[in-house]
Structures are given as C-alpha cells and as structure tokens.
Amino acid sequence: MALDTTAILGRGAVKDTYNLLADGIGQVLRVLARQAGAALQAWATEQGFGSYVAEQSLKGQAGLNWDDPKEQQRLLQAIVADADRVLEVVRQARRGWEEGSPEDQALAEAAGLLSRVLAQDIERRTDGPALQQGVAPDRVISVHDPEMRHGRKSKAKRFDGHKGALAVDTDSQLITAVAALPGNAADHEQALELVQQSEEATGCPVAETMGDCAYGDGTTRQAFADAARELIAKVPAVTNQGRFPKTRFAIDLDAGTCTCPAGETTADLRPSAGGGGTFHFAAAVCAACPLRAECVRGKGGRTVQLHPQEALLQAARAFQASPAFGEYRRLRQTVEHRIARLVQLGIR
C-alpha cells in the first residue's frame, strides 16, 4: 500500500480582506432578503447595504487612491461598521424564528462565517479597526467555499483549495481509499484511516504501508506502531545551519549515551515533559575540542535533542540506508502514477 496527497484547486473566489468581508456581508444580505420575501438589490439598498450586492466589487466602487493609507483605513472602518451593523440585523431577525428552525440555522451559518472573517482578519483597536498582522491559523480564504485553505505541496508551490489523500495498492495499482483534507493539512493526516478504509473496501489485509518523507514523522510512526502496522517512509533530513546535525552523533538508547563526532561521550540526559529529552555535553569538553567551530554555537557545550519516538526514527534511518529500501522507493511511485492519471482526468 502506498500513500500520497495531491492538490485539489478550489473553485471559490479568493479575495483580499476588503472584498472578503464585502462578500461575507453580501452572503448575509441574501439570506435576510430571501426570508423577507424581497428582491435582494431593493431590500439591501433600502437597508443601506446596496453596495454589497452590486455587480462591481466594493473596492472597484470605492475609487480610492490605494497609495494613501488614510483612505484605505477609512474604507476598512466603513466595511467593519457595516459588518457589525448587519450582524445586529441578524440578531434581531433570529428572534422572529424558532431556535433551530431552518430559517434560524441559515441566518446563524451566514452570520457565523462573517464573524469568523472579522475575527481572523481584523484587529479591534481603540483608534478603530485595522488589518491583522500576519495570517491567522486555518484562515478562511473564500466565503463561497469556506472549506478552502491556502496549502502547499512544497515551499515554492502554494495553492488554494483542498488536498486529496490517496491509498493505492502497489500490486494492482488500484486506488483503494481516498480522503479530502483541508489545503493546509499535513500530508500524513488520516494516513492510518486510509489503510483501514482500504482493508474494509478490499477485504484484504495491508501488510506494509509506504509513503514519502511527509509520512516519516515520529507521531505518524508511533500511530502505526501502536496499531501493530508497518510504515515505511523516509525520515526527513536533519540540518543545523551548517554545523554538525544530530545525525552525526551516535545515540545509544539502551546505554543512555550520546557520542559526538570527536569521540566524546556524555550520559547527561535530561528528560523532557513530553517525552524524549536533551543530551548535554560539558562546556569545558566542547571548549577544548578542535571541531568546536563546526559543532557549537555560543559559549556553552553542545546539546542534542532526543525525540520522543527516537527508537522508531533510528530504526527507520537504518533501514533507509540499506539496499532493501530501494525497492520500496520504486513501489511508492505507483501512487504518483495514479495521481498523474487523476490530473489527466481533471482533479485539478
């Protein structure tokens, strides 16, 4: 069994904060007008919200000098004020419906989405609302498809939408299980569930599961180990800003020792609350070491982190360095071929 994910591009319009808020207001207005039995444009205009349901975008209507921060701020304050006002209209309207009724739920859903966009993109200051600095975790990027997210399959390639997760039988090359993940989800999410779904769908046990290094983290390995399943995935490479990485140290878990590239050994292991710990080399030992410049930053001694799943990661590193790992690398390409075929069929 081989696992992988691929980008599924969303169809919802992705907009900046100004137009995202405007779209959110427009969504609420559509629900309110429909429940009032009125034409949208006429009703919205009567309530003072006509610009939010016009054909032209709100930013297009504004005609601002976008190089002037004060004009930007005035527009943002006006949009936020209208958002607050329309949310108050919703609160009043919901009083006229039985709690939990279809009408009440429709209003709650539309207002909830607008409130979320306000919370994630707007900072409430004493001198007025302002754009949040940075990007909120799990940020909604489209009110037309609220489940879309900014995602990445690499540092250089960003997409807007979702991730499709696949399980492929490497013998038959059949796709045996799929899952739709948020675009910002880690590739390894639902990895174990995909294997279980594959067994249910095919009626055949899965002996081994393969994935790329995105599935090689300690937590995923532990989940498979706890389920008595075998996961074969490359451990992500370790770097240390040009100095000796952790992989240059010999860690003996049974003896509780760590030996550095210069041959010095420490047993000073200080446990961490979440598992694992940190090996500490004495500052005096490191100070006299001819390899210090290649190993240590600062004045103290070198430290080496011990991962909570260090034993699993050590075993995986040893296996991926063996000749036997090459066959699994070849088999894993099966899922990449299935993804390529799905792309041909229009998955994105």
- Per run of 10 residues, the mean pLDDT along the chain (length 348 residues) is 94 87 96 96 94 86 85 94 97 95 96 96 92 86 91 84 96 96 95 97 96 95 97 92 95 97 97 94 96 93 96 96 94 95 89
C-alpha dihedral (152, 156, 158, 164), degrees to nearest 10: -40
pLDDT in the model for residue 194: 98
pTM recorded for the entire structure: 0.80
Paired strand residues for 122: 131
Domain ranges for the chain, please list them: 17-131, 149-236+318-344, 246-308
Amino acid type, 44: A
pLDDT in the model for residue 62: 81
Paired strand residues for 210: 2, 232
pLDDT in the model for residue 158: 87
For 32, the 3-state DSSP assignment is helix
**What is the C-alpha separation between 169 and 177, in angstroms, rounded?**
9
Q: What is the DSSP letter of 347?
A: -
Which ranges of the chain would DSSP assign to H, the alpha helix? 17-36, 40-46, 58-62, 69-94, 102-121, 191-202, 218-226, 283-287, 310-320, 325-344
